[in-house]
Amino acid sequence: MSVTVVGSVALDTVETPSGTNTEGLGGAAMFFSLAAANFTRVNLIGVVGDDFPKEHVDLLASRDIDLEGLEHAEGKSFRWTGKYHDDINLRDTLDTQLGVFETFQPKLTAAAKDAKYLFLGNIHPALQLDVLSQANADFVALDTMNLWINETREDLEKVLAKIDCLIINDEEIFDLTGEKNIVRGARKIQDMGPSIVAAKKGEHGCVLFAGNQLFSAPAFPMAEVVDPTGAGDTFAGGFMGYIAQQDSVEFETLKKAVIYGSVTASYTCEDFGPERLKEVTPDSIITRFDAFVALSKF
């Protein structure tokens, strides 16, 4: 089964303790798509400007990614600039230039509408609602961020009432629910609508809540993190890609999806932008999945 993703495709300038990557390929929908394409067909809905390098489009097209829904608008592409601290978990946003993304109005293609699985990247909740009105998906997952939680709460709550799964980090859980305890916070989110909550904890892994069931997994251990930008979106791509491949949202499938998401995200962290993801294959993901199982089995 295919999966549709709606979100940003961007040019990122990122500085970390390992170096600097200037105007590299970025964006939530891009990371999601490259990850999910290892598992299933992906329909990408996004927008880029007329300055967007053809080599980046060619990379996406070389995977099993349908780019009919990637609009090419007149103007500048979305750009983000950030700097990470010596503690790689901390970063500062130095500059954001929305460009053509500021007026982006997602329009689903026929294939994107008919996909059984849909992932809504962290665009404005009003746009997420509009996408939901266009889609025929049976299973919808969503990402959001503190900006929307704090400034567009009413629209966000409307979206949450209509989706099946929320992928969210522990800081965002606190902002959304006021709960510092991740279990109580996730339960409050379930009361808002989504029966499934994947609570990301960065280098400390993920806790999955599915109805009354709970699963906790560590992150894949890494000796060095070069650039964590896009790791969360890569996690979502691996998670949703595996679910779509299996065409199942049973609890056992969801647990494996968490591990596949974590494993795929670990590759993203090994280099700047999608450089490492370019080299990843389904076989290499399975090999690391097996290594993950071995190190966590007792």
| DSSP assignment of 171-205 | HHHHHHHS-SSHHHHHHHHHHHS-SEEEEE-GGG-
Pick the CATH number of 3-296 from 3.20.20.80, 1.20.140.10, 3.40.1190.20, 3.40.50.2300: 3.40.1190.20
Nearest to 255 by CA among 286, 298, 217, 201: 217
Percent of the chain surpassing pLDDT 70: 100
Report the pLDDT value the prediction gives residue 4, as an integer from 0 to 100. 98
Nearest to 260 by CA among 230, 204, 211, 220: 220
Pairing outcome for strands 117-120 and 79-84: unpaired
Q: What is the mean pLDDT of residues 201-205?
A: 80
Phi first, then psi: what are they for 136, rounded to 5°? Answer: -115, 25
- Output DSSP code: residue 219: P
Q: What is the pLDDT of residues 58-111, one digit of tens each?
A: 999 999 899 999 999 999 999 999 999 998 888 999 999 999 999 999 999 999
Report the pLDDT value the prediction gives residue 135, as an integer from 0 to 100. 97
Using an 8 Å Cβ cutoff, are 239 and 198 in contact?
yes
CA gap 227, 100 in Å, rounded:
26
Nearest to 263 by CA among 242, 246, 248: 242
pLDDT tier at 18 (50, 70, 90 boundaries)? very high
Nearest to 6 by CA among 168, 236, 175: 236
Q: What is the pLDDT of residues 121-158, one digit of tens each?
A: 989 999 999 999 999 999 999 999 888 899 999 999 99
CA gap 238, 46 in Å, rounded:
19
Q: What is the pLDDT of residues 43-73, one digit of tens each?
A: 999 999 999 999 999 999 999 899 999 999 9
Tokens of 272: 């700047």
Report the pLDDT value the prediction gives residue 8, as an integer from 0 to 100. 96
pLDDT tier at 205 (50, 70, 90 boundaries)? confident
pLDDT tier at 168 (50, 70, 90 boundaries)? very high
| Position 201 pLDDT exceeds 90 | no
Report the pLDDT value the prediction gives residue 270, as an integer from 0 to 100. 96
Average pLDDT, the chain: 95
pLDDT tier at 202 (50, 70, 90 boundaries)? confident
pTM: 0.96
Q: What is the mean pLDDT of residues 215-224?
A: 89
Report the pLDDT value the prediction gives residue 297, as an integer from 0 to 100. 82
Scan for tokens 């990614």, then name that residue.
65
Report the pLDDT value the prediction gives residue 275, as an integer from 0 to 100. 95
| Position 203 pLDDT exceeds 90 | no
